[in-house]
Structure formats: C-alpha cells, structure tokens
C-alpha cells in the first residue's frame, strides 16, 4: 500500500466516511443475524431460495423470522455495498481503494450465492463454514474501508522506527492469520464437521499471539498513538471474546439434553460469533496500521531505560 | 466538574468496584437471583466511599503531590480548587457512601468500608514517608473490596470471601512494586519511601516481585479448591499466573523500566482476566 | 475466493449420495401362512425415568395456543408399567434375501399443534410417505437421512399433502422442522414388513413371520440400539424382552 501522497487528491468526505461506518455496522448486524440462524437451528426453515415459501415476504414466525430476517438484512448490506462502490468511484481517487470496493462487492455477491447454496444443498458443513468465514472477512473489509475513508487516515501516517530487537511486521500479520484459522475451526465445529476441542485448544495459542503482539506494542511502541489504541482495543476485545467463549461452552454443556435451543446458550454463542468478527477486524486494522506507521528498522535501538 | 471526578481517582475506583462486584457475585446463594437493587446499592455505596477515600487522600497529600511529576497534574497541586472544598467533598462522599451501605445494604459492609478508609488514610498514608513497609500495610485496605461485596450479598464473611481477599492482597505487590520501580526518581523527589527508592539497585524489588508473583499462583487456586469455580478457571489461573510470573522473572534479569512496565501491563490484564474466568466458570447454573 | 466458491459448487453438486436401489435379481418374497408365526416382547426400562423438559413454544404463539397444557418433550418416554414407549423394533437379520413389495397405502406423518404425529413410526423401503400439515403455520420437513438422499420441503399452512419415498432401508431417519426446532420425529425404513413401534404398554408383536432364526434389533432415539436372537418354529410364537438401564 503506497504511503499517501500528501493531501491534494484525497480530501476527506464526511458523507462517504459515515456511509462506510454505516455499512460496517450493518454488516456486524448481519453477522449477528447469521449467528442467530445457526444457533436457533433455523437454517432450513425456509427451504426455497431466493424466494421464501414462494413469496417475497413470508409470515415471520419461529425459525422463519431468523432465516428470512437474515436474508433481508443481507440484501440491504448488498445494496449498501453497491452504494459504497459508486460513491468511492465518484469521490475518491485512490486506485487501490476502488479495487478494494470492487472486491467487497464481489465478496458480498459470493456470500449471497454461498447462502443460497447452504439452503439448497441442505447445509453441508464446508459450505456453511465457508459462508461463515467469508462473512467475517467481508466484515473486516468494511471496517477497513471505513478506516481508509476516515479523516485520521487521510491526514497521513505517524511514522515510528521499527525497533530491531522487537520487530512487529511478522507478528502483526500472524495475529489475523491465527484469528482466521480459529474462526474456521469454530465454524467447522458449529456445523458439526469436527469437535469443538480443536477450537478450544487453539484458543490459548491465538490469545497468546495477540497478547504477545499487544504487549510488544504497549512496551516498545506506546508513543505511537494509533498503535497504542489499536493494541489496547484488540486486547480488550480478545479478553471479552475468551470470556464469551467460556460462557458459550458452559451453556452448551449445561443444556446438552435440551430439546430446543435455549436462550442463554444462544445469547452467549451469538455474542461469541459477533465478537469473533470484531476480533478479526481489530487484528486486521492493527496489522494495517503497523504496516503504515512502521518506519525503517533500527537495530539495537535502546528505548528510554 | 472534571476536577471533582479527577479528585476521586476514577481508574482505581473502577478496579475497586470490579472487585466488589466479584465478591458480591460469590456471596450470592447459587440458586438465588442477582437481586439488582441490592447490587446497585452495593456498587453505589462502595463507589462513594472509595471516591471519598481517594479525594481525602489527595487532600492530605496535596503538598507532596506537587513534588512528583506523576501527581503534579492533580486538581489540588494545580490549584483547580481550594483545599477546603476538596476536604468537604471527600467527607461528603465518604459519609454518603457509608450511610448508603449501612441503610440499604448491611452494617457489616459499611463497617468494612469505614475500616478501609481509616486504614488507608490514617495508617498507610502517614507511613509512606517513613518506611517501605507501608506497601504491605496499604495492601490490606486495598484488598477489602471483595469482602465488602461478599458481605453485601451474604451478610457474612466465609473462607470464599477471604480467598478473594488474599488474591487481591498478593496481587497488589507486584503491581505497586512495578509502578514504584518505574517512577522511583519521582517518588524519591517527594520523599516517599518505596522499596525501589530505599534500595535503588532494584535487586530486592525484583526479588519481591518474583516472590509475590509466585505466591499468587497457589493463592489463585483457592477458588477452585473451595468449589467456587471449575476447571476452566483452574487452567486459566495457572496460565495467567505463570505468565505474570514470567514477566517478573524478566524484570529480575533486566531491571529496566520497559521490563517493569511489562509487569504492570501483565498485572492490569491478569486481574480482570481471572475475575472473568472465576465468575463464568461456576460449577452449577 | 471465487475459484474456491465455484469449486465448492461443483463438488457439492457432484457429491449427493447415490441411493442403493434394490437389486432386480432378488426373488419376490413369499410367506407361507401355514408356517408363519409371531415374535413378541416388551421393551423395559429400569431405574429412574429421566425428567422430560417442557417445550417452550413462545416463539410461535399459534403453536402455543393449540395446546391447553404445555407439551413435554418425548425423547425418552417411560410408561407407567416400567416399559419404554417409542422404541422401534425390527428384524435386523435372518430373513432370506428377497424383495418385499411395499404396501400401496401411504405411511403418514402429520404436523399437528407444531408436533409431529407419530413421534416414531415405521415404513417400508419404497413405500410412499404422506406428509400432512394440519397447522395454520408454515413448517418445513427436513429428512436427515444418510443412506437415502436427504431432503427438505416447505409445508405451507393447510397445504396439499406432500408425498416422498425412501428407496433404501435406513433405521432410524430423524425428521425435523427448522421453523420450530423442538419438532423431532423418527422413521424406521425397513426392507420388509416385520417392524413395530412400542406403545403405551411397551410391547411389540411381529406377525406373519416365516420360521427361522432372527436377530431382532430395538432402537431408541437417545438410549441407542440393542439386539437379541430368537428362533421361531413353524406356526410358533417366540418372545424376547429388551431392557434399557436408567
């Protein structure tokens, strides 16, 4: 990603920025809706696609509320993405951002197709898990787009030299990669392809990597405000995510004999899914900020003792 | 308005209230509901008396605070309000808090709050300029909040409550020793005799950090042993405890500010993390 | 990303399980009524019967209204006489290889008050399953079969009846509704007509069985499978009991 050329082509457009934030928020809502569909076993409550029981709007009862509601929010997000694309093309000159907007639109279309396939092919685990993982990646993309259209970003990077004894580039990439793997393990467990034991055992590893990255930034790069805030945010979200995961696991164990999805279990699990999306987004944003703000490496730089 | 909030040391108050909440949670009968009104009275009452204590402490130390860079920005050294106003503000908060606890919660929690205030203001604060053992004494009132929460919801203090007390008590040592190491020059300027000021090579400080961090590990297991929390908490407490100890070991070998800050960061993450795991991993719903 | 999506599309389309059709070279089954006998027995349950949770139908008030008293789940139903209801019993092994013609009449699965009736039933491979929706609400019927191709169909309120077939034997096929996730039914698809589901007295009888030695299997949705052997003499009766522990 080229460091921004100073100001002239890239003016801040408040409307575009706010729209990008709106898109990101609606996408998070969509992730929550999707989580609800799975947790309430409503995935097949509308057997046909793209219509629902032959209509545009069926009676929103029981599982249909979740499944069709999810479809409606998805359509809205798709349309908002189109608006984003058009707006970016009209208002912004940065070529890479335009490409990203196109990728976002293609991703949301692919998500729609995958969603239809999950219903028509009766929820094979690999399609459901891909749908879940692409959803999280798309959410991160919308958050990144909001970042790139923000006033702070357009003002330019605040460069800090990389401390050779505490390198950051590799570690900051490792974090989102670990999170994506963990997401996929979680999705595969949720769709009953593998046991949840893998997701649980991988959790300390992912948390450890994030902790390592955050500690390194807070100890050695804390003077850079963006990195500092980014790492505190990532760490807090990760901690909450661990707690939600424990809650989700415990409620699942407590209700193992339940004959229908129990509200407490649904709440914890869906919150865990949504916070997972936030975790991925936070780790991606931090990686972007590291790449942007890190200057040339200085070896054996002694930070103030 | 802002300076009044600053006077109450809000970040510390938040930590106190979190600890109180955890104590409250464990004091509840396992099958009972949360009893929101009682919880709100407990939190508000504890918050008021803790804020009052903080304000009175700032009033007491307003002169020495001017000498430390860390505290020179506080409202009284900056002259943002008169000492008299701060004094009455602190007294008002403390009295309101103690009264709220006495009337709407129970006398025990109010007495614990008053004990905390008295010990912190009349024992710990005067000792700070005299001996480094003030840290030990200060950690006692610092660990009372979970007792207050537990007393609020159950009316008695059991070994479960005391296990929470001990965890918070031991935790304070690596936390404050790390801060004291990082700001030792500042403390020296103000004449506060923390261990790193008294023994500037840091050897005894880092030794103590290791000692207390290692002690914290078995102490943190008591909630599991007493049946308060389950195996997930056990594993989490061990992992977090060893990580905390690791940062302590690193500062012992490399007594720099950066390493000390790592200990501080670890302590700030450790406490909410084990609290969260403790509360979530309750054996029966 | 899209290459991946397209590959998934292709593999998914290609991978639906192929049903095993009965080999046409099998002889038609024939039972001599002069020598046919019957196998009967009971399915018992020892220990404390597990408490069945009450179903929460609040997500759909129309369902809730159709029941005067709240409905309990039927995962493990222990009768008053210590026997088990809803156990599927069939001859697993022992009949000579033959093709049994399914009856012309349909097996029925009804959605009534947002509950499947019957909760457990049996039918023959190749027999037609008739699905009825007596409710004023939308349902979907998802057959979670693994040997037969699975399917999921929409059942609008008071719709025309739907008809499906299971070509291959499969014991038991879970049936579920995603609009109302508490709805569960089980269908045992047998290659032959010798199967039964225990009722309120926990007993079963398989009639018109030719003489021979058979492995009888009982399947309960939660408690699992049990087997036993019986020998049936010409025109005789044999009896076998099964016991599930608490």
Residues C89 and C140 in one domain: no
- Give the pLDDT mean for A188-209: 92
What pLDDT does C235 receive? 87
Last-in-domain residue among C176, C193, C210: C193
Give A-chain residues touching C150 at CB under 8 angstroms: 122
Q: Does C8 touch chain A (CB under 8 A)?
A: yes
Each residue's pLDDT tens digit, B252-282: 998 888 999 999 999 999 999 999 999 988 8
The CATH classification of domain B1-157, taken from the options 2.120.10.30, 1.10.357.140, 3.40.50.1370, 3.40.630.30: 1.10.357.140
For the cut 80, the answer to whether the pLDDT of residue B164 exceeds it is yes
For the cut 60, the answer to whether the pLDDT of residue A9 exceeds it is no
Q: Does A246 touch chain B (CB under 8 A)?
A: yes
Nearest to A62 among C152, C154, C180 (CB): C180
DSSP, residue by residue, chain A: -PPPPPSTT----HHHHHHHHHHHHHHHHHHHHHHHHHHTT-TTSS-SSSSBTTBSS----HHHHHHHHHHHHHHHHHHHHHHHHHHHHHH---HHHHHHHHHHHHHHHHHHHHHHHHHHTT--HHHHHHHHHHHHHHHHHHHHHHHHTSHHHHT----EEEETTS--HHHHHHHHHHHHHHHHHHHHHHTTSS-THHHHHHHHHHHHHHHHHHHHHHHHSTTSHHHHHHHHHHHHHHHHHHHHHHHHHHHHHHTTT-SS--HHHHHHHHHHHHHHHHHHHHHHHHHHHHHHHEEEEETT-----
Q: Does C234 touch chain A (CB under 8 A)?
A: no
- Tell me the residues of chain A between 195 and 234 that have a Cβ less than 8 Å away from chain B: 204, 211, 215, 218-220
Mutate to test the interface with A, among C152, C162, C182 (most CBs of A within 10 A): C152
Each residue's pLDDT tens digit, B180-206: 898 888 888 888 888 888 787 888 888
Domain of residue C205, residue span: 32-93+201-246
Distance CA A74, CA A69 (A): 8
CA A172 to the chain's CA centroid: 16
What is the CATH classification number for the domain harbouring C180?
2.60.40.420
Give A-chain residues touching C62 at CB under 8 angstroms: 61
On whether residue C14 sits in a domain, the answer given is: no
Q: From start to end of chain C, where are the E strands?
A: 37-45, 88-93, 107-112, 115-117, 120-124, 128-133, 139-143, 151-155, 162-165, 170-176, 184-190, 195-197, 203-209, 212-220, 224-232, 237-239, 242-244
Residues C150 and C163 in one domain: yes
Each residue's pLDDT tens digit, C80-132: 888 999 999 999 988 888 888 999 999 999 999 999 999 999 999 999 999 99
Q: Which of B59, B57, B20, B11 is nearest to B39 (CA)?
A: B20
Q: Does B268 touch chain A (CB under 8 A)?
A: no
Distance CA C214, CA C228 (A): 8
- Tell me the residues of chain A between 122 and 151 that have a Cβ less than 8 Å away from chain B: none
Q: Is B197 or C204 the better-scoring residue by pLDDT?
A: C204
**Chain A neighbors (3+ CB pairs < 8 Å):** B, C
Residues C221 and C103 in one domain: no
* Joined tokens for residue B173: 């040592």
Give C-chain residues touching A48 at CB under 8 angstroms: 154
Give A-chain residues touching B280 at CB under 8 angstroms: 243, 246-247, 250
On whether residue C223 sits in a domain, the answer given is: yes
Q: Which of C170, C179, C176 is nearest to C219 (CA)?
A: C170
Least confident of A36-50, A249-263, B109-123, C19-33: C19-33
Q: Report the chain B residue with the minimal C-alpha distance to residue A220.
A: B258
What is the CATH classification number for the domain harbouring C226?
2.60.40.1120
Give B-chain residues touching A216 at CB under 8 angstroms: none
- Tell me the residues of chain C between 176 and 215 that have a Cβ less than 8 Å away from chain A: 176-182, 184
Q: What is the CATH number of domain A13-154?
A: 1.20.120
On whether residue C218 sits in a domain, the answer given is: yes
Which phi and psi (to 5°) does residue C26 adopt?
Answer: -75, 140
What pLDDT does B281 receive? 87
Q: Which of B207, B48, B55 is nearest to B125 (CA)?
A: B55
Q: Which of A86, A87, A46 is nearest to A67 (CA)?
A: A46
Handedness of CA A260, A261, A263, A265 (dihedral sign): positive
Domain B158-285 has CATH 2.40.128: no
On whether residue C100 sits in a domain, the answer given is: yes
Give B-chain residues touching A305 at CB under 8 angstroms: 256-258
* Domain residue ranges in chain B: 1-157, 158-285
Q: At what angle do helices A263-293 and A14-39 cross, to 10 degrees?
A: 140
Q: Report the chain A residue with the minimal C-alpha distance to residue C1.
A: A107
Tokens 């139908």 correspond to what residue? C57
pTM of the model: 0.85
Last-in-domain residue among C174, C193, C212: C193
Nearest to C60 among A62, A257, A261 (CB): A62
Residues C185 and C63 in one domain: no
The number of distinct structural domains making up chain C is 2
**Cβ atoms of A200 and A190 closer than 8 Å:** no
């Amino acid at each position: 990603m080229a460091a921004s050329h100073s100001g002239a082509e890239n003016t801040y457009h408040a409307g575009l920025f706010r729209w990008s934030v709106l898109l990101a928020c609606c996408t998070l809502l969509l992730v929550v809706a999707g989580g609800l569909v799975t947790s309430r076993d409503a995935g097949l409550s509308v057997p046909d696609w793209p219509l629902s029981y032959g209509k545009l709007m069926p009676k929103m009862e029981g599982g249909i509320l979740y499944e069709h509601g999810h479809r409606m929010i998805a359509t809205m997000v798709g349309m908002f993405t189109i608006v984003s694309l058009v707006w970016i093309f009209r208002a912004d000159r940065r070529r890479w951002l335009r490409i990203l907007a196109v990728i976002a639109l293609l991703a949301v279309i692919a998500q729609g197709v995958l969603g239809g396939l999950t219903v028509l092919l009766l929820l094979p685990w690999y399609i459901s898990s891909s749908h879940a993982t692409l959803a999280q990646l798309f959410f991160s993309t919308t958050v990144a787009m909001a970042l790139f259209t923000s006033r702070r970003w357009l003002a330019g990077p605040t460069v800090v030299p990389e401390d050779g004894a505490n390198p950051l580039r590799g570690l900051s990439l490792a974090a989102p990669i670990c999170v994506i793997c963990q997401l996929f393990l979680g999705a595969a467990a949720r769709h009953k392809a593998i046991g949840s034991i893998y997701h649980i055992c991988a959790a300390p590893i992912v948390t450890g990597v994030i902790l390592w990255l955050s500690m390194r930034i807070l100890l050695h790069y804390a003077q850079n405000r963006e990195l500092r805030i980014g790492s505190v945010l990532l760490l807090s979200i990760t901690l909450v995510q661990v707690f939600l995961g424990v809650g989700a696991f415990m409620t699942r164990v407590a209700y193992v004999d339940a004959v229908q999805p129990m509200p407490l279990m649904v709440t914890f699990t869906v919150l865990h899914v949504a916070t997972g999306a936030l975790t991925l987004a936070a780790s991606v944003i931090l990686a972007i900020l590291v790449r942007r703000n890190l200057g040339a490496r200085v070896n054996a730089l002694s930070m103030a003792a | 308005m802002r300076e009044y909030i600053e006077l109450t040391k809000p970040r510390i108050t938040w930590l106190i209230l979190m600890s109180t909440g955890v104590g409250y949670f464990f004091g509840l009968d396992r099958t009972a509901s949360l009893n929101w009104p009682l919880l709100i009275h407990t939190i508000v009452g504890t918050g008021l008396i803790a804020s009052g204590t903080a304000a009175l402490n700032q009033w007491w130390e307003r002169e020495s605070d001017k000498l430390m860079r860390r505290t020179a920005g506080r409202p009284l050294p900056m002259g943002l309000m008169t000492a008299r106003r701060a004094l009455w503000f602190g007294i008002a908060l403390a009295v309101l808090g103690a009264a709220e606890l006495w009337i709407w919660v129970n006398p025990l929690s109010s007495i614990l709050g008053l004990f905390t205030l008295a010990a912190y203001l009349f024992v710990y604060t005067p000792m700070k300029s005299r001996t480094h053992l003030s840290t030990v004494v200060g950690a006692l009132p610092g660990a009372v909040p979970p007792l207050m929460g537990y007393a609020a919801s159950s009316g008695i203090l059991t070994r479960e409550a005391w296990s929470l007390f001990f965890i918070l008590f031991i935790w304070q040592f690596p936390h404050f020793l790390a801060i004291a190491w990082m700001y030792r020059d500042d403390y020296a300027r103000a004449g506060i005799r923390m261990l790193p000021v008294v023994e500037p090579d840091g050897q005894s400080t880092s030794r103590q950090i290791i000692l207390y961090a290692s002690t914290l590990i078995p102490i943190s297991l008591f909630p599991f042993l007493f049946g308060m929390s389950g195996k997930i908490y056990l594993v989490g407490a061990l992992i977090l405890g060893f990580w905390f100890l690791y940062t302590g070991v690193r500062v012992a070998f490399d007594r720099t500010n950066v390493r000390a800050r790592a200990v501080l960061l670890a302590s700030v993450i450790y406490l909410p993390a084990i609290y969260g795991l403790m509360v979530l991993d309750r054996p029966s719903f | 990303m899209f290459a991946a999506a397209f590959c998934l599309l292709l593999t998914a389309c290609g991978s639906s399980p192929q049903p095993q059709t009965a080999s046409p070279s099998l002889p038609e089954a024939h039972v001599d009524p002069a020598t046919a006998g019957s196998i009967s027995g009971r399915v018992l349950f020892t220990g404390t019967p597990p408490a069945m949770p009450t179903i929460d139908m609040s997500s759909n008030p129309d369902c809730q209204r159709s029941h005067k008293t709240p409905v309990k789940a039927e995962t493990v139903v222990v009768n008053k006489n210590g026997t088990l209801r809803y156990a599927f019993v069939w001859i697993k092994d022992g009949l000579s290889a033959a093709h049994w013609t399914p009856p012309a009449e349909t097996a029925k699965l009804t959605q009534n008050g947002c509950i499947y009736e019957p909760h457990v039933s049996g039918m023959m491979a190749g027999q037609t399953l008739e699905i009825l929706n007596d409710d004023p609400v939308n349902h979907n019927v998802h057959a979670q079969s693994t040997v037969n191709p699975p399917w999921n169909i929409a059942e609008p309120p008071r719709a025309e009846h739907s008809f499906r077939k299971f070509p291959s034997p499969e014991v038991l096929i879970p049936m579920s509704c995603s609009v109302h996730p508490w709805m569960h039914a089980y269908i045992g698809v047998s290659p032959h007509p010798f199967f039964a589901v225990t009722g309120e007295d926990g007993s079963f009888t398989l009639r018109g069985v030719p003489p021979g030695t058979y492995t009888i299997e009982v399947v309960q949705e939660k408690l699992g499978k049990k087997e036993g052997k019986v020998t049936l003499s010409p025109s005789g009766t044999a009896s076998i009991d099964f016991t599930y522990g608490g």
